[in-house]
Structure 1
Amino acid sequence: MPRRVDHEERRRQITDACRRVVARDGLEAATFQRVAADAGVSVRLVQYYFGNKHGLLVATHRAVIEGSARRFGGDAPGVVSESEPPPLRAVLRAVLAALLPLDDARRADAVVLAAFHAAALTNEAVTPEELRGAPRALADLVAAQLRRARDDDAGPGEGPAPDEAARLDAEVVLASAAGLTQGVLAGHVTGETALAVVDRLLDHLVGADAGGRVSGTS
Structure 2
Amino acid sequence: MPKVVDPETRRDEVVDAVFRVVRRAGFEQASLRNVADEAGLAIGSVRHYFAGHTDLMVFAMRASLDRVGARLQERVGPLLAAEDPAVRAEGVESMLAELLPLDERRRDEATVWLAFTTAARTRPELQPLAREAYDGMRALVRRIVDGVTRHRRLSAEPGVETERLCALIDGLTVEGVLHPDRMTPELMTAALRRHLETLAEPRL
Shorter-chain TM-score: what band?
A: 0.7 to 0.9
Contact 1:72 1:94 (8 Å CA) reproduced: no
With structure 1 as the length reference, what TM-score do the two structures score?
0.72
1:147-183 Cα deviation digits (max 9, x unpaired): 6x569x66xxxxxxxxxx5x87655444321111112
The residue type equivalent to 1:91 in the other structure is G
Residues 22-80 of structure 1, C-alpha deviations (whole Å, 9 max, x = no match) = 01110111111110111222211211212111100111122222222233321x6xx53
Contact 1:58–1:131 (CA<8 Å) still a contact in 2?
Answer: no
From the superposition, tell whether residues 182 and 150 of structure 1 become closer, same or farther in structure 2 (CA, over 3 Å): closer
Unaligned runs of 5+ in 1: 155-164, 210-214
Q: State how far apart, in whole Å, the 2-side matches of 1:171 and 1:10 are.
A: 39
TM-score, structure 2 normalization: 0.76
CA 1:173/1:67 → structure 2, altered by over 3 Å: closer, same or farther? farther
Q: Tell me which of 164, 171, 176 is aligned to 1:179.
A: 171
More helix by share: 2
The answer for the alignment partner of 1:116 in structure 2 is 116
| CA–CA distance in structure 1, aligned partners of residues 113 and 79 of structure 2 | 32
Once the two structures are superposed, the pairs formed by residues 38-187 of structure 1 within 5 Å of their partners are 38-74=38-74, 79-81=76-78, 84-85=81-82, 87=85, 88-123=88-123, 126-141=125-140, 143=142, 172-187=164-179
Structure 1 CA distance, aligned partners of 2:106 and 2:97?
10
Note if 1:191 corresponds to 2:190.
no
- 1:203 CA displacement: 1.8
Q: Which stretches in structure 2 are left out of the alignment for 5+ residues?
A: 152-157
Identical amino acids, percent of aligned pairs: 32
Structure 2 letter corresponding to 1:48: H
For 1:28, the equivalent position in structure 2 comes to 28
CA distance in 2, matches of 1:70, 1:123: 28
Q: CA RMSD in A?
A: 3.2
